[in-house]
Chain A
């Protein structure tokens, strides 16, 4: 299982290197406050990484907020129980 994962990772890295080399020409972005010029491959990779990170962050925030809500409810229930004679 671990070997397969390493193999797939190596294939993707190799593909990334090849695509990066084939698409080395620069593309320009106008971000309104600044203009950036990046190689096409790097722009693609950057967009993917940012998308992946944003997805992860959203899910993490969702889970942790849910857990916090649960914990608060539990604390509230505990207090109620302990206040009962």
Chain B
């Protein structure tokens, strides 16, 4: 057979093959080829975005059955199970992924991280701690693992380890974790204060100030330590510094500050400070404090006049209640009955009211917390400003 008679059909065939393979590669790159698998994927994603997690799980389960090699689908499923509270299923799925032979190291570490989060959600903190520590040691997803470890140590109130890991996180990510570390030192100082180790508490507070020079909580704790040691002049200085550091915490700081002013007999200083606060702070707490001060110094009439004039400028239910309480003795007859009803009403209005709100997650609380019970952020719970609250 002649060579040309072989080449004549083979060369067009090779040309066609080259043309077909190039088109295929091009189509795959440009995304024109939308397989049934990816349409299912987007359907699942759509359900997720519409908060229809049950349907999303169904779609992703079908996807995982079709293609057992798709690690991402399994990870998404595990995530969904965890978010729905089916932690045991999430754990089984992630354990299965971790033990799968031939899985790349990168995917295995992702699965380990997810498994750690499952353990955390299930309350198996010791297992989660071991996993995250391994990930940090392997330098795989170390910042996430460190954040989870810090959360675990906070939960266990192991503040020394929390500080150690927060410092490592700071070095690793160059993010400023100093305010959080200052809070950890404040927790240690508070614990030492409760156990009577006052020198140790002061040491921890020094560390807190080193981390964050304007740490309100550290100033407040310093004031409290001084007040407990009957050093009320120093306590006043610390409390005033706390208000200067963050005026939003005024309702928390004012009661002990007023006590220290009274104990150190510095009521003129108190008046000057509170008067200065009136111009800077728009809540009702300084008004009520000044009303109290004027009642003791100048009598009932002066205090009621001051309160009435201030309530016109900044109307507030708490202020109104103070006014009703102050004027109650002077009223008799039917008006008194009406005032009693009004007082009960304002009291009930205040009772059901959240006085503080987390600026990060919106969690409402009646009492102040340094760490938000919902999102676990530090120093984000602040007094609510409004007619019915501060």
Contacting A55 at CB < 8 Å: which of B17, B26, B30? B17
Contacting A54 at CB < 8 Å: which of B3, B15, B20, B26? B15
User: How far does the alpha carbon of A62 sit from the alpha carbon of B19 in the complex, in Å?
Assistant: 10
Q: Which residue of A lies closest to B27 (CB)?
A: A63
User: How far does the alpha carbon of A51 sit from the alpha carbon of B6 in the complex, in Å?
Assistant: 14
Digit string of A53-65 for contact with B (CB within 8 Å is 1, else 0)? 1111111101110
Classify the interface of chain A: helix, strand, loop or mixed. Answer: helix
- Is there a chain B Cβ closer than 8 Å to A77's Cβ? no
In A59-85, the 8 Å CB interface with B consists of 59-60, 62-64, 67
Closest Cβ–Cβ distance, residue B125 to chain A (whole Å): 42
Interface residue tally of chain B, by bracket? 20 to 34
Closest Cβ–Cβ distance, residue A74 to chain B (whole Å): 14
Count of A-B residue pairs with CB < 8 Å: 66
The answer to whether B16 and A47 touch across the interface, beta carbons within 8 angstroms, is no
User: How far does the alpha carbon of A77 sit from the alpha carbon of B125 in the complex, in Å?
Assistant: 56
Residues of chain A within 8 A (CB-CB) of B272 are: none
The answer to whether B21 and A56 touch across the interface, beta carbons within 8 angstroms, is yes
- Is there a chain A Cβ closer than 8 Å to B14's Cβ? yes
- Is there a chain A Cβ closer than 8 Å to B22's Cβ? yes
The answer to whether A51 and B12 touch across the interface, beta carbons within 8 angstroms, is yes
The answer to whether A44 and B7 touch across the interface, beta carbons within 8 angstroms, is yes
The answer to whether B26 and A63 touch across the interface, beta carbons within 8 angstroms, is yes
User: How far does the alpha carbon of A56 sit from the alpha carbon of B24 in the complex, in Å?
Assistant: 10
The answer to whether A63 and B30 touch across the interface, beta carbons within 8 angstroms, is yes
The answer to whether A56 and B18 touch across the interface, beta carbons within 8 angstroms, is yes
Residues of chain B within 8 A (CB-CB) of A44 are: 3, 6-7, 10
Q: A27-B3, A44-B3, A67-B30 are in contact. Are A60 and B22 (CB under 8 A)?
A: yes
- Is there a chain A Cβ closer than 8 Å to B106's Cβ? no
Contacting B14 at CB < 8 Å: which of A43, A55, A59? A55
In B155-182, the 8 Å CB interface with A consists of none
Residues of chain A within 8 A (CB-CB) of B27 are: 63
Digit string of B14-42 for contact with A (CB within 8 Å is 1, else 0)? 11111111110011001000000000000
The answer to whether A48 and B11 touch across the interface, beta carbons within 8 angstroms, is yes
Apart from the given pairs A44-B7, A52-B18, A56-B19, 15 other A-B contacts in the complex at a CB distance below 8 Å: A43-B3, A44-B10, A48-B10, A51-B11, A51-B18, A52-B15, A52-B17, A54-B15, A55-B15, A55-B17, A55-B22, A58-B15, A58-B19, A63-B26, A67-B30
- Sample 29 A-B pairs with CB under 8 A, ordered by A number: A27-B3, A43-B3, A47-B7, A47-B11, A48-B11, A51-B13, A51-B14, A51-B15, A52-B14, A53-B18, A54-B15, A54-B18, A55-B14, A55-B17, A55-B18, A55-B19, A55-B20, A56-B19, A56-B22, A58-B15, A58-B18, A58-B19, A59-B19, A59-B20, A60-B22, A60-B26, A63-B23, A63-B27, A64-B26
